[in-house]
Structure formats: C-alpha cells, structure tokens
A and B are shown apart, each in its own frame.
Chain A
Amino acid sequence: MSQTQSLEVVDSLALLSLKVATNTFDLSSGMHHVSIRDQIVRAQLLVRDLQRGDPALESLLIVGGGVAGVFAALAAADLGVKEVVVVDVADQLFSLIRNVRERFVGPFMYEWPSAFFSDQSYPSHAQTPWRGSSMSPLHWKSAEPCSASDFAHLLTCKLDQRLRNSSIASPRIFLRVDRLDVKSFVRNFVRTEAIAAWDLLNGRARSARAEFSQGSVLDYQSRTHSPLRVRPQYVILASGMGQEDCTLVKVDATGNPYGGQNFTGQAFWANDSLRDSAKANEEIYIFGGGDGAMQDALRALTGTEHPLKILDHLQKDTATKVAIERHSAGLLALDRQGRQLATWTRGPESYQAIDKGCQVLASCLAQDSNVRRRVAEIRREGNGSVTLVVREPHFGKAYMLNRFLIHLFDACCKSGVQDGTPRMDFQLYFGWQPVGYRQIGTKHEVDIQELANHNNIRPCQPDVIVVRYGIERNSVPGTQMIQLSNRPSRQRTTLSRVELPFVAG
C-alpha cells in the first residue's frame, strides 16, 4: 500500500452493551452484575469509552443521582467533559440506600474466594495488584462492609468535599426535578437524535438538539432553587432498576394465574426486622433463589450483618479455616466458570453444574466435625427456623459466598449435629413454589407445592414471609435489536451479562 493507514481501534463494549436508544445509555435496568462496585465500574467504563469514542463529547445529561449516576458524572468531569448535568426527582442523592441500615455493602466482599475479598476499599486497594488504579473520584474506604446508609453518608461527604474544590471541574447536580418532564425529555431527545442521525448519515445538517429545561429546581451545590437548561449530546439513564416483585403467589395448584388472597413483602432496600432477637423463635419463610433470598436467609439464621461475619466466625477455628481453604481453589474455579459462562450462555442451565459442584464441596466440608461445630455455633439460639423455598431445582445467578454458605448450612443441618443448645433450624426446598395464601388474623398460611409432584402440597404457617423474586421480568427490557431496519424482528441480543472488571481503568 502506498498510503499510510492510521486506523484507531476503540473500546466499544461498554457503549454497545449499554446503548438502549440513539445516543442514550442505560446503566440500571436489566443488568446481570449489580453489586455497588459493579455499578461504579460500569459507569466509569461507559464514560471513559464515550469520551474516547467521541472526542467531541462536551455535554452529558445523567438521569439519576444514585451511585452509578454520581460516579458517571464525576468520571466525566474528570475526563474533561465540559458540561455534565445530573438530575434526580428526589431531594437528596443516593436516596434509594440512604436510610437503609440493615443492608451491608463492601466492594470486594462477593469476590470471595478470591484472595482480596476482605479488602473494603475502592479504588485504593491495599491488598490488590491494581492499587495503582485511581479512576474513581470518590474513595470508598471502610474497615469492613458498612451499612448502606453509612455508605451513602460516606459518598456524600466525599462528593461534597470534591465539589468544594473549585480548582477542578465538577458536574452540576439538580434535585427535585419533575419526573414527567424528565421522561418526556428523554423520549423527545431520542426522537430528535434519531432524525438527526439519519440526516447526518445522508449528509444533511442535523436539527437542533432537544433541550431539557426546568423553571426552578434545587441546585445541590448552592442549595438554592434555580432554572436549568441543557442540550445534551448524550443521555445516560442511571435510575430505575425495574419494578421489584415482592408478591408471593403467582400461580395456583393447577398452574393457572393466581387470583386469590395474596401477600406482598417488604422491598429489598427497606429496613427489615429479620435480625431482631425475637425473630430467633419464629418461623421465617423466604421465597426466591437469588442473592437477595440467600442474604436474607443467612441474616435471619445467624443474626449477622453480612456473610463475611459468618466466614470470619468459621475461620477463627484453625481446623475449619484449613478445611475451607482446601476447597477454595475449587470454589474459585466454579465462581470464575459461572461468571464467564454467563457472558456466553443465556439461560439458567449455565448454573446447574456450578451449583451442583458447590453443593458437593459443601457436603464434603460438612463431613468434618470441626466445620459442623462451627456452623452450628453461629446459628442463632432459639426455637425458630428459616426455610428457603426455591422454585428452580438449583440456585441461579448468585455470588459464591452466598451460594457456598447456604449449601454449607444446609449440609451441616442435614447432618443433625447439635451442640446441646436449641438453635434455629434451616430447611432448603428446591423445586417448590407457593400456590396459595391466606391471612387468618395476624397469622399467615401458605401452601407450597412440589413442582415434580403437583399433588404434593404442604400447608405451612410462617410468622414471617420474605419475598425475594428480584426484578419483575416484564419491567426489564434490556434486549437490543441487531438488525439495520426498524421492521419487526423476533431476534434480539443482549450484552447485559458481560462480566465487569474489578476496577475500571
């Protein structure tokens, strides 16, 4: 070739996987990896790649003042994007988690059994080889996993400190924005940008960008009300993970949609009373097979704040620690396999072998009397029980720490070993579903049905019901069109399961 070609290869996975409409990205709905660190990394990667992919990026509107939105905004400001505007309908940032004292978060807790699981700082990692990464404008430092409310407070303090530094560019943050106006603007923005895209492709001048304007909204920095006008090049949606499904019974015993009396549980991000001491003497039924259900089962059974406390307790006994470490390589391999397989394979079958493998390792450990004793000791003293009812024949997507501990408690409880103290019992039902609900006075009655034998229906009387079905599927789109025309197509694709790196950078 006589001419020198100077082609640039650009990173595009974050952009393509998170695009939902013309020049619009969604950081929230339909995501597979949803830990708070995942949200931070996803936001930072998106902004990084957008800035690299479109060097003329100057104006960005971010809808949602939660963790993802604020981290995206600060990352964009740090990368030199001139105009970064965050809007939220709430009157404070991080409103979803701000007052949640019962949920605990940590950046690497769920990376167990990776060696750095106990590192609770992001992104300055004392125990990780990527300590040089410092993409995050906020520093998440904590001696151990902290409550969601403490985390929100920590982020707010860091953010305020950052915004006070007038020597560096900062995003503008506006609260109490009108919800309907935002929705209307997003639709208008997409329409306008779609027309402009065709115009540009055909060599025509593009039309004016859509303007988002508010007469008077709360300016986060000045705490005064002021007007807002912005004509963004791109919009990032960082609010709304979908509707949480907390309704207990979906079908009746014949498999038809359930129309009888029903129960609706507390939302995940609500303060519950599962760890109250009185609950140790109650019958607690938890429905669901994901991380939320497992977390709640572990909290109810042990009264601990988060699963690292359970692990700490187990590993304080040297023999138990050695026994667990003997299997940690196998557990890590299963964990890696699960995450990588999820990227390439859509469907619950990805997890069947992984869950079975974890179950086998937990059963092996439960044969060790030291392990059984330590597991028994951390169960709360009381006459109550925790029953986890999972519709599927195995756990689906879940962090290995939760998955392993649940299987370990199940295997140890089945062994029947007691330490002489009455302690909460644990029952795990795979392949069962609720098919009826009645409330009699303050009591609950739930009929659960075995899916493999529809005639096997058991009535149960829980004192406490927790429903952790996750996000309603029909409220989460997330599949993208992969054709060029806008004709109807049955085929869709999604990159929402792509595993995220531990740290953006």
Chain B
Amino acid sequence: MRTFLPPTLGEIEQAVGMIIAQENRPRGQHGWFLESSSDTRLDSVRQALRDVEELGLVTPVNGSDQRWRIADTWQPPAGGSGRDDGGSDGGGRSGDFSGGDGDGDSGGGGLTEVLSHPVLFALDEESFDLVVEGLFAEGQS
C-alpha cells in the first residue's frame, strides 16, 4: 500500500501559485498572490488553511502548521478518545464517528447524533434567531 507524505506549507504555496499561473490570471482576481513576496504568500496560505481547518476540511500534521493533510483521511482511534495524532481539537465525545463493529457496543452515534443534527428536532433558522433575540427578555408565567 502506497503512503503519501502530506504536503508542507511551502509546497502548498507553490501549488497555489502554479494553479493561478496556469489559469493565466496574473492580473485577475488572484493576481496579487503572484506579485506578493514569498512571506506574504506563505502567510496567506497559512491563514486559508487555518480557515478551512475550522471547517474540519484539513488538519495540521503533528500540531504544526508546516505540514497539512486532508481531514477526511482521519479516523478516530478504536478507544473512542476522538483525538487523533494530528492534534485535532475536536473529539472526545461518544458522538464522534466510529466505525463500530456492529457488536452492540456504544460505538458513538445514537442519541448524540440526533442532538447534534443541524435540522432534526431543531428550530428553523428564523425561529432559532427569535430564541436568541429573546434571551434575557422577561416573561410571565
């Protein structure tokens, strides 16, 4: 089985530069990237990676921002701690996805999946907004 070493920040920055150059848009929407200094380009890529990390799409390797990988390669450890070796700040709950062996173990999921579902048994966005707006409003019994 072949294994791939996740790209470094510099490699990602170079790849981004190549994509912009190949699309022949040096003066277009992303032209500033090619015209910026190396440090600025690295900072921009680092920030973009941080943003998509917030969305759970990528994750830094070993907690450092020097090497990154796609988050969907992530699998929780069997013990269900939810914290991968990449230092994801997320897991730790039984609600974390686990490939459960179908043997009736808790395996995550269940009720916590329903509680965290964005739609199921939730208010629609407008109604929830009303709840938030009503916080600390006084009422009567």
Contact A244 B140 (CB under 8 A): yes
B138: CB under 8 A from chain A?
yes
Taking CB atoms, residues of chain A closer than 8 Å to B1 are none
B23: CB under 8 A from chain A?
no
Query: In terms of DSSP, what is the predominant structure of the interface of chain A?
Result: loop
A56: CB under 8 A from chain B?
yes
Closest to B135 in A: A240
A54: CB under 8 A from chain B?
yes
Contact B55 A207 (CB under 8 A): yes
* Listed stretches B4-12, B13-21, B111-119; interface member: B111-119
**Alpha-carbon distance between A108 and B96 when the two chains are bound, in angstroms:** 42
Taking CB atoms, residues of chain B closer than 8 Å to A483 are 119-120
Taking CB atoms, residues of chain B closer than 8 Å to A4 are 104
Contact A16 B71 (CB under 8 A): no
**Alpha-carbon distance between A253 and B136 when the two chains are bound, in angstroms:** 35
Contact A482 B121 (CB under 8 A): yes
CB distance from B18 to the nearest CB of A (A): 27
* Listed stretches A192-200, A336-344, A346-354; interface member: A192-200
Within 8 Å by CB of B56, from A6, A96, A199, lies: A199
Contact B136 A64 (CB under 8 A): yes
Closest to A58 in B: B92
**Alpha-carbon distance between A207 and B134 when the two chains are bound, in angstroms:** 28
**Alpha-carbon distance between A208 and B92 when the two chains are bound, in angstroms:** 12
Taking CB atoms, residues of chain A closer than 8 Å to B72 are 202-204
B48: CB under 8 A from chain A?
no
Taking CB atoms, residues of chain B closer than 8 Å to A195 are 55-56
Contact B135 A19 (CB under 8 A): no
CB distance from A88 to the nearest CB of B (A): 8
Taking CB atoms, residues of chain B closer than 8 Å to A197 are 113, 116-118
B66: CB under 8 A from chain A?
no
Taking CB atoms, residues of chain B closer than 8 Å to A470 are 140
Closest to B108 in A: A200
Chain A interface residue bracket vs B: 35 or more
Closest to A192 in B: B54
B39: CB under 8 A from chain A?
no
Closest to A469 in B: B140
Contact A242 B84 (CB under 8 A): no
B86-129: CB near A (< 8 Å → 1, else 0) gives 10111111111101000111100011111111111111100111
Q: Which of the listed residues A36, A58, A190 has the most CB atoms from chain B within 10 Å of its own CB?
A: A190
Within 8 Å by CB of B133, from A96, A183, A267, A478, lies: A183
**Alpha-carbon distance between A267 and B140 when the two chains are bound, in angstroms:** 7
On whether A16 and B114 interact (CB within 8 A), knowing A21-B123, A207-B56, A471-B139, the answer reads: yes
B32: CB under 8 A from chain A?
no
**Alpha-carbon distance between A205 and B68 when the two chains are bound, in angstroms:** 14
Within 8 Å by CB of A481, from B53, B57, B113, B121, lies: B121
CB distance from A32 to the nearest CB of B (A): 11
A211-254: CB near B (< 8 Å → 1, else 0) gives 00000000000000000000001100101111110000000000
CB distance from A471 to the nearest CB of B (A): 5
A125: CB under 8 A from chain B?
no
Within 8 Å by CB of A237, from B95, B116, B117, B131, lies: B131
A305: CB under 8 A from chain B?
no
Contact B117 A209 (CB under 8 A): no
Taking CB atoms, residues of chain B closer than 8 Å to A170 are none
User: Which residues 58-110 in A have Cβ within 8 Å of B in the complex?
Assistant: 58, 63-64, 88-89, 96
**Alpha-carbon distance between A471 and B131 when the two chains are bound, in angstroms:** 13
Contact B122 A20 (CB under 8 A): yes
Contact B89 A209 (CB under 8 A): yes
**Alpha-carbon distance between A242 and B141 when the two chains are bound, in angstroms:** 11
**Alpha-carbon distance between A484 and B130 when the two chains are bound, in angstroms:** 22
On whether A486 and B59 interact (CB within 8 A), knowing A207-B90, A241-B139, A269-B138, the answer reads: no
Within 8 Å by CB of B131, from A20, A34, A88, A234, lies: A20
Taking CB atoms, residues of chain A closer than 8 Å to B93 are 54, 56-57, 233
Contact B136 A200 (CB under 8 A): no
**Alpha-carbon distance between A36 and B122 when the two chains are bound, in angstroms:** 25
B78: CB under 8 A from chain A?
no
Closest to B141 in A: A34
A12-40: CB near B (< 8 Å → 1, else 0) gives 10011001111100101100001110000
Contact A199 B71 (CB under 8 A): yes
**Alpha-carbon distance between A485 and B118 when the two chains are bound, in angstroms:** 9
Contact A182 B139 (CB under 8 A): no
Taking CB atoms, residues of chain A closer than 8 Å to B122 are 19-22, 480-481
Contact B56 A237 (CB under 8 A): no
Contact A196 B112 (CB under 8 A): no
Top 10 A-B pairs ranked by shortest CB distance? A241-B139, A268-B140, A206-B90, A477-B127, A194-B118, A199-B56, A197-B116, A208-B89, A205-B88, A240-B134
Q: Known contacts A19-B122, A56-B93; can you find 12 more A-B pairs with CB under 8 A?
A: A10-B111, A179-B136, A197-B116, A197-B118, A205-B59, A206-B91, A237-B131, A241-B138, A269-B138, A474-B130, A475-B134, A483-B119
Q: Which residues of A pack against B, CB within 8 Å?
A: 3-8, 10, 12, 15-16, 19-23, 26, 28-29, 34-36, 53-58, 63-64, 88-89, 96, 179, 182-183, 186-187, 190, 192-209, 233-234, 237, 239-244, 267-269, 291-292, 468, 470-471, 474-486
29 residue pairs of the A-B complex, CB under 8 angstroms, read A5-B104, A8-B106, A10-B110, A12-B114, A15-B115, A21-B118, A22-B116, A26-B131, A35-B141, A54-B94, A55-B94, A55-B106, A56-B95, A63-B135, A183-B133, A183-B135, A186-B135, A190-B128, A197-B116, A205-B56, A205-B74, A207-B54, A207-B55, A207-B56, A208-B54, A242-B134, A481-B123, A482-B120, A485-B119
